[in-house]
A and B are shown apart, each in its own frame.
Chain A
Amino acid sequence: MIYKETGQYNSNYRSDHAIFPLMQDKIAFSLLMLVAFLFVPFVVDSYWEKAILVPFLIYSMAAIGLNILTGYCGQVSLGTGGFMAVGAFSTYKLMTTYPDLNIMIIVIISGFISALVGILFGLPSLRIKGFYLAVATLASQFFLVWLFNKVPWFYNYSDTGQITVSERTMFGVPVTGAAAPPYATYLFCLVLVVVFGFAAKNMIRSKIGRSWMAIRDMDIAAEIIGVPPLKTKLTAFAISSFYIGISGSLYFAVYLGALEVTESFDIMAISFPVLFMIIIGGLGSMLGSFLGAAFIVLLPIVLKNFMVDLVGLSAVTAKHFEITIWGLLMVVFLIVEPHGLARLWSIAKEKLRRWPFPY
């Protein structure tokens, strides 16, 4: 009875097709946005920014990207790290080549460059599916990381192979570099995630989203209806890589500030965790992308706080436990709830609708 939808009638197709058709959802989302934009920026400190909020937003962006490709279009990809690296290095090259260009524009151009690379590596998807495609995208992961490591032009011939961000401002406030205040980096990421989050949701509920899902569920029938398979798959690769590229760009410019490619964009550092995010969060669900990102960002922090501070384990032992618990959770999730946290949430909503009555 808490989550009551009785009496809420949609009298036209427009409101029926809204992102949040229910009043409760609308209110909850508006409140969330109010808090995120008007409250959090005033109280956020450097710990919350660096440890929780900014990584959550950046990983959400990457998870949305991978979810578009894997969850909605059904093309399994292990190349997330590679495409994030493209975003990061594009940002670095653009920053150093055009010192006057606005950082927002740089980030978005980096997204477009990643999209082009994504199209290139998406070409095999016309011929191969499933596991075999996953292996083909794995090739892109290793190739791209190798490329950014071996070709000195990408890191401007620096001795260490590191790329380092320089300070850029938005409206006079630095958003990149060491001097950037926590609220600025947070808001910068938040605006991008909200804008592109809505764009993704809109695409998913429009023609292109239905084409992706049609290809995912039954490609032959989709073709007979008139969905062009190659074009649809490549669009998914392009848009997915666009989102992942932007997240890579933010990861480098806003979050880390300086990085080295083999360490930061390794398959174990990015590709697998982001894949876990969408599996734990929910394949083919926008909410799932956010829940998964939150889960993966928060889990190590919660576990560490619990084990080190409360139980008194040494940091190293805690780390070992963390990895074990991670793997265990993965297995449990795959068996118990393959549709992820998003499905758990919709089951909870069902329960809340009729609570306290059993049915």
Chain B
Amino acid sequence: MSLSKIKNIPYGKNIIELKNISLSFGGVKALTEVSFEVKRGEVFAIIGPNGAGKSSMLNVINGFYKPTSGKINFAGQERLQMEPEFAAKSGIARTFQNIALFKGMSTLDNLMTGRLLKQKQNLFMQALYFGPAEKEETFHREKVERVIDFLDLQSIRRTPVGSLPYGLQKRVELGRALAMEPEILLLDEPMAGMNVEEKQDMSRFVLTANHELKTTIVLIEHDMSVVMDISDRIVVLDYGKKIGSGKPEEIRSNKAVIDAYLGVSND
């Protein structure tokens, strides 16, 4: 399985390489010839104005969209697309821009779904429950409880997530992704709509996951102060094209990026 292959990649070496990715829906070109690579263990940010193709980029990486052309090199294997299930099995987890939690289930159950791929007991053993299935359930519960501890979700363990406030839902969604123990975590606007304190908390969680669990993080975010603070490298998209990439300080002084964000006067 390619999960073990990923583990062999040294930190700081390329884990995903995207080469000339184009994606179009009918006549609409969402992405045009975008190339960049993500190194193992870094915090990588994708930024750009609205409609620049950032979310599409994430969807391409975890196999939800099939690029029209281009190649994805993931952990040394080159392909045009991977199935979402394969991406999940290979250790890619993600969160969504519009929260995609299982609203009828409790926080605990939502986080437990992150362990589904790791649970191996068959249907009969699950129906019987006692014995191996129970042992497995307890084992994964322990793992999930660590995530609950980490994200301070203890008090809402049994609450159906549909009734939680927005900021907490975002946190539960991060928890569900972390419960998968991913190698690569794709975060689609994890701090959208949050106040400063919530953003600080979220940044702390993301950075701790990166430092302690050595998770590679690819994130989309609009808050520039957050992006500049926490990311190691940044790629900037505008109208589906890559207009800049590099370290935060390089991006800050990049002429094309400033133009894209502030607009150019045609005088």
Residues of chain A having any CB pair with chain B under 8 Å: 12-14, 16-17, 199-200, 202-203, 205-208, 210-211, 213-214, 216-218, 220-228, 235, 239, 284
Contact = CB atoms under 8 A, between A and B. Distances in A.
Question: Which of B84, B112, B114 has the most C-beta atoms of chain A within 10 angstroms of its own C-beta?
Answer: B84
B232 interface: no
B127 interface: yes
Contacts of A221: 96, 100-102
A207 B126 contact: yes
A241 to B, nearest CB: 14
Interface string B125-155: 0111100011001100110010000000000
Contact of B114 (A199, A202, A225): A225
B62 interface: yes
Given A224-B88, A224-B94, A14 B138 contact: yes
B96 A202 contact: no
B129 A223 contact: no
Query: Which 5 residue pairs of A and B lie closest in terms of their CB atoms, listed nearest first?
Result: A226-B88, A217-B102, A202-B129, A221-B100, A206-B126
Question: Which of B101, B102, B114 has the most C-beta atoms of chain A within 10 angstroms of its own C-beta?
Answer: B102
Nearest to A221: B100
B180 interface: yes
A218 B85 contact: no
A218 B100 contact: yes
B242 interface: no
B126 A213 contact: no
Contacts, number: 100
A224 B64 contact: yes
A208 B180 CA distance: 17
B123 interface: yes
B140 to A, nearest CB: 9
B109 interface: yes
Interface of B: 62, 64, 84-85, 87-89, 93-94, 96, 100-105, 109, 112-114, 116-117, 119, 121, 123, 126-129, 133-134, 137-138, 141-142, 145, 176, 180
A199 B129 CA distance: 8
A218 B138 contact: no
Contacts of B103: 217-218
A217 B89 CA distance: 21
Given A225-B114, A227-B116, A214 B129 contact: no
Given A13-B138, A199-B128, A214-B105, 12 more contacts: A14-B134, A16-B141, A17-B137, A206-B133, A207-B121, A211-B113, A220-B64, A221-B102, A222-B102, A222-B113, A224-B87, A225-B176
A251 B138 CA distance: 39
Question: Which of B88, B89, B127 has the most C-beta atoms of chain A within 10 angstroms of its own C-beta?
Answer: B127
Given A13-B141, A218-B101, A224-B84, A207 B116 contact: yes
Nearest to B157: A16
Contacts of B84: 223-224, 226
21 contacts: A200-B127, A202-B126, A202-B128, A203-B123, A203-B126, A206-B129, A208-B126, A210-B109, A213-B109, A214-B102, A214-B116, A217-B105, A223-B85, A224-B84, A225-B93, A225-B114, A225-B180, A226-B85, A226-B117, A227-B113, A284-B104
Contact of A216 (B89, B104, B129): B104
Nearest to B124: A199
A236 to B, nearest CB: 11
A343 to B, nearest CB: 12
Contacts of A225: 88, 93, 113-114, 116-117, 176, 180
B112 to A, nearest CB: 6
Contacts of A12: 138
A204 B159 CA distance: 18
A214 B111 CA distance: 11
Contact of A206 (B87, B105, B137, B180): B137
A208 B89 CA distance: 17
Question: Which of A206, A216, A239, A284 has the most C-beta atoms of chain B within 10 angstroms of its own C-beta?
Answer: A206
B56 to A, nearest CB: 15
Nearest to A217: B102
B142 A13 contact: yes
A223 B142 CA distance: 24
B85 A17 contact: no
Contacts of B180: 225
Contacts of B102: 213-214, 216-218, 221-222
Contacts of A17: 137-138, 141
Contacts of A205: 129, 137
Contact of B123 (A208, A226, A227, A284): A208
Contacts of A206: 119, 121, 126, 129, 133, 137
A203 B127 contact: yes
Contacts of B121: 206-207
Nearest to A12: B138
Contact of B116 (A14, A16, A211, A220): A211
Contacts of B142: 13
A346 to B, nearest CB: 12
Contacts of B114: 225
Contacts of B126: 202-203, 206-208
A233 B100 CA distance: 19
B100 A220 contact: yes
A218 B169 CA distance: 15
A226 B133 CA distance: 20
Contacts of A218: 100-103
Contacts of A207: 116, 119, 121, 126
Contacts of A208: 123, 126
Nearest to A200: B127
A66 B155 CA distance: 33
